[in-house]
Amino acid sequence: MAFLEIKNLHVSVNNVEILRGIDLSVNQGQICAIMGPNGSGKSTLAHTLMGHPNYKITSGEIFLDGKNINQLAPDERAKLGLFLSFQYPVEIPGVTVANFLRTAHRAVKQKEMSILDFKRLLEQKMHLLKMDKRFMTRYLNEGFSGGEKKRNEILQLAVLSPKMAILDETDSGLDIDTLRTVAEGINKIISPEMGCVVITHYQRLLEYIKPDKVYIMIDGKIVKSGGAKLAIELEEKGYEWIKEEMKS
């Protein structure tokens, strides 16, 4: 069994079925890309994996490292090594980036680090991501640009070092230079001990983060899968090509 295993997953929101039988497996050290048009269910899948209470699993199973996590709370999933990078990170006035990350690290890793040791860890990760140290004293996402919010999400990924990362449209709203910077940061963090599910509309992010496998999602189902070349083909032909294939 793969580290993340999804079997025949059906999910409803407000009694409306959004996911209609998703099968997916991702191992540590593997990068999987999920692509699809707006409304196809990509973000629903991300929130369901992390345990958002508004997303109801009506049938199917999610396994993480062989453990069924259907009924687990988000914090319990995080402790098992699951991480979600949000499409729209929230602002938390009055809480610095450093304090937020230290609290998150203690909760997820279930161990205490001294302030000094954690500061060293944070500075090491910020240096890796080429981030100014002054960033750690700013209030979480308050007054941040879109690019700064996304880089902060990647900093969280680096500090928490999960076993499986779900990146939900990390490229949305980023200009070309910021996209490259964020992607370079992700590439530095991903390791053989960390699997990654990259959710995106566009192939441009996958020019920098090379997926091992690409899945196309339409109307709550995975309708096509392939290697990295599938994303390039999709960029050239658009989603209508796949929709026509589905009809035939």
In the chain, how many domains are there? 1
Q: Which of 35-39, 69-73, 227-231 has the highest mean pLDDT?
A: 69-73
Predicted confidence (pLDDT) per residue in 82-116, tens digit: 999 977 788 889 999 999 999 999 999 998 899 99
CATH code of the domain in which 18 resides = 3.40.50.300
Crossing angle, helix 239-247 and helix 228-237, to 10 degrees? 100
Dmax over Cα atoms in the chain, in whole Å? 62
Report whether 233 contacts 201 (CB < 8 A): no
Q: Is 125 inside a domain boundary?
A: no
- Hunting for tokens 């949000």 — which residue is that? 86
Please report, rounded to a whole number, the percentage of residues in the chain having pLDDT higher than 70. 100
- 139, two tokens: 């209030």
Q: Is residue 131 part of a domain?
A: no
Q: Domain limits at 60?
A: 4-89+164-247
Contact between 102 and 118 under an 8 Å Cβ cutoff? The reply is: yes
Per the listing, tokens 């890309």 go with 33
Q: What is the DSSP string of 188-248?
A: HH--TT-EEEEEES-GGGGGTS--SEEEEEETTEEEEEESHHHHHHHHHH-HHHHHHHHH-
| Residue 193 lies inside a defined structural domain of this protein | yes
158 domain residue, yes or no: no
| Distance, CA of 29 to CA of 165 (rounded, Å) | 11
138 located within any domain: no
β 56-64/67-68 pair status: antiparallel
For 192, counting Cβ atoms within 10 Å of its Cβ (0-12 exposed, 13-18 middle, 19+ buried), the class is exposed
Residue-wise pLDDT for 159-184, tens only, equals 999 999 999 988 877 888 888 888 88
Dihedral sign, CA of 83, 231, 210, 191?
positive
| Domain membership flag for residue 210 | yes
